[in-house]
Chains A and B, each alone.
Chain A
Amino acid sequence: MSCAIEVKDLTYAYPDGTPALQGVSFGAEQGEVTGILGSNGAGKSTLFLNLNGVLTPQGGQVLLDGEPVSYARRNLPELRRRVGLVFQDPDDQLFSADVYRDISFGAVNLGLPETEVRRRVEDAMTRTGVSALRDKPTHALSYGQKKRVAIAGVLVMEPSVMILDEPTAGLDPQGVSGIMSLLRDIRKSLGVTIILATHDMDIVPLYCDRVYLLSGGRMAAQGTPEEVFRRPELLRENHLRLPRIAHLMEILRDRDGVDVNRGAATISAARQEILRLLDGER
């Protein structure tokens, strides 16, 4: 496998001198979903702004498809095209009161001809399921609809890496699964590499291929979700928790002495464990 985006020893401090990133290293495999876990203030948003070129790293290196990224001014448009960023609050991202015009913004900025912009806007609206909202003003949309429009506004730039900051925050349970299956479709049909920051531990084992734990401006752990969930103490130190199912497995194993796999974090994994135990009894 090859890394679509790889970060080596990235450092960044805010203008007032507060260090935000202190040597972050991680990689996101081509076509996978990579989760970045971390408490509030761990530096997730700062990291993302660095990857997209809104902020310029003070040290370290970012590689896109193995090529080092230049943060020179004339290279920024290309970087922003290849690495799309969806902000946590869609109201920060949608600046136009007209849904169609907002989605077109990124494509227009790429200097594409009108027919190509229209094709991409239509395509992005179809993929995100917002075609029916084109005649509505932005302020009349629900939060989840705004989030979809924000994703469409990034898709028109046809990025190879899409970064989403807390894509499920503020959504109701069905909204969460709606957005997550939308991301899965985008990954499957377009092969886009997806990086997402989240607090929502229960979606991590369902949708992430690989996770990193960001803590105090460094990566404190990495691995598959199963591997990271085997280290609950590390998650708890970082104001996170295990997914509910993995927590149940932990209690069964540690307190009740049942021989279960503590990495089982989803309903289907738990079901397998339970069936295995029942089989052993019979």
Chain B
Amino acid sequence: MGTDRCAYLSRLRRVDPIPKVWFALAALLICVLSDSLGVGLFTLAALSALNLALGGQRAGDLLRFLKIPLAFLVIGCLTIAIRPIGEAEALWAFRLLGRWNWGITAENLRLSLLVCGKAMGAVSAVYFLSMNTPMTDLTLALERLHVPKLFVELTELIYRFIFLLAGEAGRIRTAQESRLGYQGFRRSLGSMGELLSTVFVRSLRRGERVFSALESRGYTGTLTTLPGQYVPGRWLYGLAAATAACQLLILLAERRLLP
């Protein structure tokens, strides 16, 4: 849960989550819909810079997170760039198994860079949101945006208890390993199966206890709580408008619609 840990330290931690959601969402949508490499790269640069400047995140952390999708993207974009090209004019080509003509055409190269730029722009918008908004604020924002309550409450409970389950599974695994439970493929499978069933049974029991505890505090069917007081974040709407304006200007310039 790397980005989440950053969110609790962010300078925007106490800012109302809803403007943050709209800001990130607007930048993301324009980036994806505008279908332009320039807009993608601008979104990547602008939202990463804002993430560092406003959220007070460390550049090293952000780069580390950006590298994760980059690895997948590079592979994906290579397969777009290098394809069978028939007799088209290629920048670079080779014969696959001596029969098929494969290579990179200018068009395919443009397309692969476009996909890569767009995706990284979108990712940086998502990181701006997730590195500056704790999960609990995000689910609360979803609730205020009228996402069904059942879905929101399930998300919150899963988020809370996944750490406990993971911790429990980790301790069981250590206990099994200390008794040589993971030596050899067959034994590993058996131990893993027992681990899973134990975690499952324990979480069932815990579920019962959690329910009792909720009832004892007057649970009436909804997990309604009051969040800590937020700093209003209306200024983020201004920032969203400014970012959108820059994105659209770049788009227009790229399409040569500006004089």
Whether A24 sits at the interface, judged by CB under 8 Å, is no
B217, A157: Cβ atoms closer than 8 Å = yes
Interface string of B34-51 (1 = CB under 8 A from A): 000000000000000000
Whether B187 sits at the interface, judged by CB under 8 Å, is no
Q: How many residues of B contact A (CB 8 A)?
A: 34
A101, B227: Cβ atoms closer than 8 Å = yes
A49, B212: Cβ atoms closer than 8 Å = yes
Whether B210 sits at the interface, judged by CB under 8 Å, is yes
Whether A147 sits at the interface, judged by CB under 8 Å, is no
Whether A87 sits at the interface, judged by CB under 8 Å, is yes
A80, B227: Cβ atoms closer than 8 Å = no
A109, B226: Cβ atoms closer than 8 Å = no
A98 to B228, CA, bound (A): 9
Q: A109-B220, A137-B134 are in contact. Are A101 and B226 (CB under 8 A)?
A: yes
Q: A85-B216, A92-B206, A139-B160 are in contact. Are A97 and B136 (CB under 8 A)?
A: yes
B212, A108: Cβ atoms closer than 8 Å = no
B219, A98: Cβ atoms closer than 8 Å = no
B220, A98: Cβ atoms closer than 8 Å = no
A107 to B218, CA, bound (A): 9
A95, B226: Cβ atoms closer than 8 Å = no
Cβ of A33 to closest chain B Cβ, rounded Å: 20
B217, A138: Cβ atoms closer than 8 Å = no
Interface string of A86-99 (1 = CB under 8 A from B): 01010111111110
A137, B8: Cβ atoms closer than 8 Å = yes
Of B163, B206, B220, B228, the residue contacting A134 (CB under 8 A) is B228
Q: A87-B213, A105-B217 are in contact. Are A95 and B160 (CB under 8 A)?
A: yes
Of A80, A98, A117, A137, the residue contacting B217 (CB under 8 A) is A80
Q: Give the residues in chain A near B178, CB-CB below 8 Å.
A: none
Q: Give the residues in chain A near B134, CB-CB below 8 Å.
A: 97-98, 137
Q: A106-B218, A110-B218, A157-B218 are in contact. Are A97 and B228 (CB under 8 A)?
A: no
A138, B226: Cβ atoms closer than 8 Å = no
A104 to B216, CA, bound (A): 14
B218, A139: Cβ atoms closer than 8 Å = no
Cβ of B202 to closest chain A Cβ, rounded Å: 12
A91, B164: Cβ atoms closer than 8 Å = yes
Cβ of B219 to closest chain A Cβ, rounded Å: 7
Q: Give the residues in chain B near A138, CB-CB below 8 Å.
A: 160
Whether B258 sits at the interface, judged by CB under 8 Å, is no
Whether B215 sits at the interface, judged by CB under 8 Å, is yes
B224, A54: Cβ atoms closer than 8 Å = no
Whether B123 sits at the interface, judged by CB under 8 Å, is no
Of B140, B157, B209, B224, the residue contacting A109 (CB under 8 A) is B224
Q: A54-B212, A92-B209 are in contact. Are A118 and B229 (CB under 8 A)?
A: yes
Interface positions of A (Cβ within 8 A of B): 49, 52-54, 77, 80-81, 84-85, 87, 89, 91-98, 100-102, 104-110, 114, 117-118, 121, 134-140, 153-154, 157
Interface positions of B (Cβ within 8 A of A): 4, 8, 13-14, 134-137, 140, 156-157, 159-160, 163-164, 206, 209-210, 212-220, 223-229
